[in-house]
Chain A
Amino acid sequence: MSAVEAPVPVAGGVAIPAQPERSEGAFRQMARRFVKHKMAVVGFVVTSLLILIAIFAPWLSPHSPYAVTAEFSAAPSASHWLGTDQVGRDVLARLIYATRVAVIVGFGTVAIYVTFGTVVGLLSAYLGGWVDMIVMRVTDMFMAFPYMMVILVVVSVLGPTLGTLVLVLALFSWPSIARLVRGSVLTLKQMDYVKAGIALGLSTPRIVFRHILPNALAPIIVNATFGVAAAIMAESGLSFLGMGVQPPTASWGNMLTDAQSISVMTDQPWLWLPPGIMILVTVLAINFVGDGLRDALDPKQ
């Protein structure tokens, strides 16, 4: 917590917070510091735009992403702004629809593993003892796995659907957040206000979820933000290898697969440049948001 900016008049040894009447809450303080970070604001705007594109894809898209036209591998033109691919589908439409995949995989994966990892980390640290020991050994095991390989195996066994992809990515991401949360809860549970809460007769779940969790939220939020970018990267990689989202569903990763031949690389840049740029911009934007959040939430700032 930083000090209050407003001057504090002292009356009879009793400090009274000056105007504004309501002292600045943690959230507003954070927002103020986040806005100072210019790249983070740009990143936030770009990320928001991407989410909007994903939601309104059917209205924004000039064509259906699956409609095959007679023009194969056509260069950008007035009717197809980014040209068509090798089977004659509109690249722009596919690019727009692929945003949905990225958003679903990015945020879906993070939502699942952050929730699970946070609960596991919280309980592990608060309960301690053998629970803690077992949980930590399990996370050690997960972190020691060559996970890309395991993901490839799991996806090929379960079938490469969007759901499997999200679940598998989440399965290998929760241990890091569990450890992060455990670390901060171990510190937080020694705090006087936690002891005061116990002395007030609050139940264990209430103390853990209402008093400890909000104080551990800052590193979780930052980690989750970077997690979104990492999940989108992982999905692109898997789709590129053919183990992720399967055609005809469009994903930036599987759109890049077309660029595997040298002739496409040199002669048809509209096939691989747009998805490549989208991945780059998305991951950069989200990482900037993460940077900004980290600075804004850092109590040392």
Chain B
Amino acid sequence: MLLELKDVKTVFKTEKGEVTSVDGVSLKLGKGETIGIVGESGCGKSVTSLSIMRLLGKNGSIKEGEIRFMDKDLAKLPEAQMRGIRGGDIAMIFQEPMTSLNPVFTIGNQLTEAIRLHTDMKGKAADEYAVEMLKKVGIPRPEAIMKSYPHSLSGGMRQRVMIAMALSCNPKLLIADEPTTALDVTIQAQILNLMKELREETGASILLITHDLGVVAEMADKVVVMYAGQVVEETDVFTLFEKPLHPYTQGLMKSIPHIGSDADETLASIPGAVPPLTNMPKGCRFHTRCAFASEKCLSAAPMLLTVQEGHQVRCWMAQEPEIWKTQEEEAV
């Protein structure tokens, strides 16, 4: 395993006291694999990735659990060593390519900065390598772009530059936090294709954070569905789309249009919103929005259990279908 999260719990200090943003998340990512983390805004998917990078700011901290990466526990690594890993072994691509580049420096300037920091290349060698990286991410006339300032590049171009920057130090793990959300649909496809090509070429593992199930279907091998700071379902991408077990996952599936569906059909939506971190409902965290919620869901929180090989789910209904049926019958 390249990366293994064991019961990671990330908390933030706020005025109202400590809130748990990521609550006992475990996941495994092998070499060359791509894992997708899916969920609504505020479900903890970004905080999970920031926990791996240890970029939680002053108020955030990893309270419990282990983050194993190449035989090191990132949760306990000293900051100085962590800095060597950031941008080196683990690189990150952000959501906003328009603002992720420093406006006062040229592309070449920023690209070679990372290269000089994490490799032995200096001066001309670093410049040449940067041009090569820009070529690799499909930027035309890379020599001219090296001398350009970010404001003269389009969003798609800038995201390509960000990808070049992230991949320039041969990371073993690439964390992509909504890499295509801010881009036009046509550019989205280009960027996804580029990421796939580069994954083949470099053999890097990818942790892909998105709320777009289409992107997951395109890119991921495994999928983790998060809700309110917890993993609610984890399985491979085929099983997830064929047989989603958690009502939340099912809801997400129903909320996207399919080719062949009726044009007049209204898309389903999940009622309500993610509960605030300071006020989690008792029992199953999803019960306030779940169409199938029963007595048990209100009082007892389900565990994340394996229901089939490679398919884990956090839902009473999926875990105890027999009991469920009898209960439903009684209710009727």
Contact = CB atoms under 8 A, between A and B. Distances in A.
A78 interface: no
Interface string A194-209: 0111111111000000
Interface in B52-88: 53, 55, 58, 83-88
A180 B91 CA distance: 34
Contacts of A11: 140
Given A15-B157, A191-B99, A196 B94 contact: yes
A14 B101 CA distance: 18
Give the bracket for the number of chain A residues in contact with chain B.
Answer: 20 to 34
Interface string B122-164: 0000000000000000001100100111011110110000100
How many chain B residues sit at the interface, stated as a range, is 35 or more
A4 B152 CA distance: 6
Contacts of B154: 14-15
B147 A21 contact: yes
B99 A15 contact: no
Contacts of B35: none
A14 B157 contact: yes
Given A15-B153, A195-B55, A200 B162 contact: no
A162 B156 CA distance: 57
A1 B103 contact: yes
A23 interface: yes
B147 to A, nearest CB: 5
In terms of DSSP, what is the predominant structure of the interface of chain A?
A: loop
B104 interface: yes
Contact of B152 (A13, A17, A129, A215): A17
B101 A201 contact: no
A201 B114 CA distance: 8
B161 to A, nearest CB: 11
Contact of A200 (B141, B148, B152, B165): B165
Contacts of B86: 198-201
Given A22-B147, A196-B162, A202 B117 contact: yes
B255 interface: no
Nearest to A213: B104
B144 A199 contact: no
Contacts of B147: 21-23
Interface of A: 1, 3-4, 8, 11, 13-17, 21-26, 128-129, 191-193, 195-203, 211, 214-215
Interface of B: 53, 55, 58, 83-88, 91-92, 94, 96, 99-106, 113-114, 117-118, 140-141, 144, 147-149, 151-154, 156-157, 162, 165, 184, 186-187, 190
16 contacts: A4-B152, A13-B156, A17-B148, A17-B153, A23-B148, A23-B149, A26-B104, A192-B96, A192-B100, A195-B100, A196-B94, A196-B100, A198-B55, A199-B94, A200-B114, A201-B85
